[in-house]
Structure 1
Amino acid sequence: MRPNAEGVDVDEPLAVDVPPAPHDASGERVPIRQLAGLAPVARPARRWTPRRVVATPAALDQPHGRRIVERLATLGIEVERLRSNRLAGVRGDTERETYARAKSTLAIVVSPPSRRKLQPIAPSADWRFDLAEGCPAHCQYCYLAGSLSGPPVTRVYADLDEILAGLAGYAGQGTVTSRNPRRAGEGTTFEASCYTDPLALEHLTGSWRRAVEHFAGWDAPVQLRWTTKYADVDSFVGLPHAGHTRVRFSVNCRPVSERMEGGTARVPDRLAALRRLALDGYPVGLTIAPIMPLPDWRAHYGELLGAVAAAVDGVPDLDLTAELITHRFTPGSKEVLLGWYPRTKLEMDETLRSRRHGRFGAVKYVYPRDTMTELRSWFERELADRLPACRILYWT
């Protein structure tokens, strides 16, 4: 085992040492080893520590903004109190320097008014709401590239209480789950991780724990949804959630996760965290993304699905879903990503892709139809065979 350039351990089996299900007779910790090789023990959760934290005056006027500052103080993290609500001092002399400064900065701010009006977020959920914007990870295919304006500073929203209170008017509305017979059992769904990774920030803010508690106390058919590439679930295990929160873990095969997902938790650790939450009664999910037709992709993704099957083995009343998302890019995201990661090996060759237009006319490049058909049929067949309890929510 050796660390790669991103500090991620490589050359080890994609297997996970997980706790036994509650009904195991021995009561001992029995590792599942369905794959070849000795399963490594999940390491302590990886936590991001920003180099610079700033707070705007408007954020400090909010109760949750002050809670975040107090939380950071207990972690020994100093907060710089800005004189105005405008962020400054982020840009460097080069694009790379600006990127480095921004990715190491946490800003405590108030959400812009535009974010308070919820937008549909098909095919994932009825509505999207945001508790933060930006992510400290270094994924070379970053979904946020080209979607957010300015340097990629991570902003956390201090007006949490107002954001959560404003969700009630959207219950029973929407078209993705609320009025879809196939997914109506999920209730009105609210996606809270479109522009961030909750577990990357939770130890700093406590925002998503409060959101889980809010949804648990909501006497209505509603569901909070978020996805993550981290594994720090300690504060969620044992938390009353009433089954109203589905946590999905974004996973990929080793050539992608080990080479293109810098700063994240290892996939075995994510799967161990998924199991812990599933044993605690949470609905859980897989976000397999971005799917890529790499050389030997069937073997690589087969290994991943085998590790997932091992991780959920024996979980009683398992509620598991899968969202299957293939890699795509836009001209804008390609330009941003090449600026951030000039030596990336990520394939973004327009001549190898099919050109498509989004809902608002935006150009995107996806895999050709034959490739998409082959990928989709393989994943649907293998998931049905290896994880028969898993429901596929969508393919895109």
Structure 2
Amino acid sequence: MPLRTGPAERPARLWRPRRVLVMPAALEHAHGRAMLARAEALGLPVERLASNRLTGLRQADPRRAYAEAKATLAIVVAPPTKLKLQPIPPSADWRFDLAEGCPAHCQYCYLAGSLSGPPVTRVYANLDAVLDNLAGYAGRGAVTSAQEARAHEGTTFEASCYTDPLGIEHLTGSLSAAIRHFSAWQAPVGLRFTTKFAAVEPLLNLAHGRRTRIRFSVNARGAARYEGGTAPLDQRLRAMRAVALAGYPVGLTVAPILPIPDWQAAYAALIREAAEALAGVPDLDLTAELITHRFTPGSKEILQGWYPGSDLPLDEAERTRKFTKFGSVKYVLPKDLMAEMRASLHAALARDLPMARVLYWT
């Protein structure tokens, strides 16, 4: 099936927050001032805060609190805790954050329950400190640094755990700065990020040195209704082709894999479309990461408050109860279904994208 034509070929739609809050401390940093200038140039309503605190964001009505927070961008300073990196298996050696929060409205959002307070998108003004801090972690780690199959990636740093950096790049410029930083870094290191957006134009002419792997989070078309505010699948696939042609290593993050009706055919079709999008790309460096849907009691409660009309499958009776390494409860797909899905997706990749290195299934 070829990529669909028509409206999907229009330029990628960019998020325009209805409110931009700026902490005084953020303006002490050149990058903070640059982000403020971007917001003002776009004509966004800017409020300069009197203190370095975000207040007045909580509402008695959770739906209203969610809606207002999701429409808010806050230019802040990353706290010291953000400079103490945490390992992020199975994706990468280390996680670092350019921002926290995401403008998308995914009904399965894995950040629900992970972030405290209303889901405001916070972008970090002290970018130089965030990037300079990474040097102390090079040569360390337990994922790519310790696995023979991935050692050629060097020490890897994941930038999309708590945000989608491409979805806010037109407002921050932080992702471009990180790509340039890794390209110039004289060490075996790699930057990784995943996105559900498609506005890749600012990245195409950057000096990246093939040190940045851009992964596109994709799902079967039957799951599109769960991914509000994101770029349509066709735009994501075209963007993946564009960055691959620009020399970037790329990846498919198939997530979250859901037991939608006729899921076998739906996910097989997704893999075929990705193959068609990448056809003819020279020196293609492609990975695949396969992530099944799971939820916790806390995330379920939050998501049902945010999206009360959603039909996202969150019935504990249809899941297997498991414990995380921290002792908390999560609900995953049943073992037999998990095995069937794994075999089906691996077969589709082997058939249509045999050059893809499957990094993990989880």
Q: Which stretches of structure 1, 4 residues or more, deviate above 6 A after TM superposition?
A: none
Deviations 1:290-337 (A, max 9, x none): 001221001111111111010000001100000000000000000000
Could you tell me which of 160, 166, 171 is aligned with 1:193?
Answer: 160
**Which residue of the other structure, out of 114, 119, 130, is the alignment partner of 2:86?**
119
Aligned to 1:5: none
1:29 aligns to what? none
Is the 2:58–2:117 Cα contact (8 Å) retained in structure 1? no
- Partner in structure 2 of residue 85 of structure 1: 52
| Distance (whole Å) between structure 2 residues aligned to residue 267 and residue 232 of structure 1 | 13
Corresponding position: 1:394 with 2:360? yes
CA drift of 1:42 comes to: 2.1
What do the CA deviations read for 1:160-192 (whole angstroms, capped 9, x no partner)? 011000000111100100121010011100000
In the alignment, which of 37, 43, 53 is matched to residue 20 of structure 2? 53
Whether the 8 Å CA contact 2:223–2:260 is kept in 1: the answer is no
Stretches of structure 2 that go unaligned for 5 or more consecutive residues are none
For residue 201 of structure 2, give the secondary structure of its aligned residue in structure 1. coil
Alignment of 1:291-306 (within 5 A): 291-306=257-272
Q: What TM-score do you get using the length of structure 2 for normalisation?
A: 0.98
**How many equivalent pairs are there?**
362
CA contact (8 A) 1:92 1:101 kept: no
Runs of at least 5 residues in structure 1 that lack an aligned partner in the other structure:
1-13, 18-37
2:349 counterpart of 1:383: yes
Q: 1:318 to 1:229 in 2, by over 3 A?
A: same
Identity of aligned residues (%): 62
Structure 1 or 2: more helix by fraction: 2
Q: 2:319 aligns with which of 337, 353, 356?
A: 353
> What is the identity, as a one-letter code, of the residue corresponding to 1:178?
S
CA contact (8 A) 1:145 1:336 kept: yes
The aligned counterpart of 2:115 is: 148
Encode CA deviations 1:178-226: one digit per residue, 9 max, x unaligned: 1210100111000000000111100000000000000000011110000
**1:78 positional shift:** 3.4
Aligned-partner Cα distance in 2 for 1:77–1:148 = 25
Which of 267, 291, 314 in structure 1 is aligned with 2:233? 267
The 5 Å alignment of 1:240-319 reads: 240-257=207-224, 259-319=225-285
The 5 Å alignment of 1:322-333 reads 322-333=288-299
Q: Give the Å deviation of 1:41.
A: 5.4
2:98 paired residue among 131, 152, 172: 131
For 1:304, give the aligned amino acid: L
CA–CA separation in structure 1 for the residues paired with 2:298 and 2:55: 24
Inter-partner Cα distance in structure 2 for 1:42 and 1:118: 39
Contact preservation (8 Å) 1:277, 1:284: yes
SS of equivalent to 1:86: coil
How far, CA to CA, are the matches of 2:6 and 2:21 in structure 1?
A: 41
Aligned-partner Cα distance in 2 for 1:200–1:390: 25
Aligned counterpart, 1:28: none
Corresponding letter in the other structure for 1:132: A
Q: Report the alpha carbon displacement of residue 39 of structure 1 after superposing the two structures with TM.
A: 7.6
Tell whether the 8 Å contact from 1:16 to 1:42 is kept in structure 2 after alignment: no
Asked if the contact 1:104/1:136 (under 8 Å) is kept, the reply is yes
Shift of 1:101: 0.5
The one-letter code sitting in structure 1 at the alignment partner of 2:27 is L
Aligned counterpart, 1:16: 3
How far apart in 2 are the matches of 1:211 and 1:319? Answer: 20
For 1:358, give the aligned amino acid. T
Return the alpha-carbon distance in structure 2 between the equivalents of residues 395 and 97 of structure 1: 37
Structure 2 counterpart of 1:387, which letter? L
- Say yes or no: does 1:237 pair with 2:224: no
Residue identity in the other structure for 2:50: R
Q: For the residues of structure 2 that align with 1:49 and 1:194, how far apart are their CA atoms?
A: 22
Using the size of structure 1 for normalisation, the TM-score is 0.90
Determine the C-alpha separation between the residues in 1 that align with 2:359 and 2:204.
25
Cα drift, residue 77 of structure 1: 1.9
Q: Is the 8 A contact 2:18 2:45 kept in 1?
A: no
For the 8 Å contact 2:268–2:345, the answer to whether it is kept is no
Q: CA RMSD in A?
A: 1.2
State the Cα deviation string for residues 38-75 of structure 1 (Å, max 9, x = none). 68752211100000000111111111111111121221
Secondary structure of residue in 1 paired with 2:223 = helix
Contact in 2 for aligned 1:320/1:389 (Cα 8 Å): yes
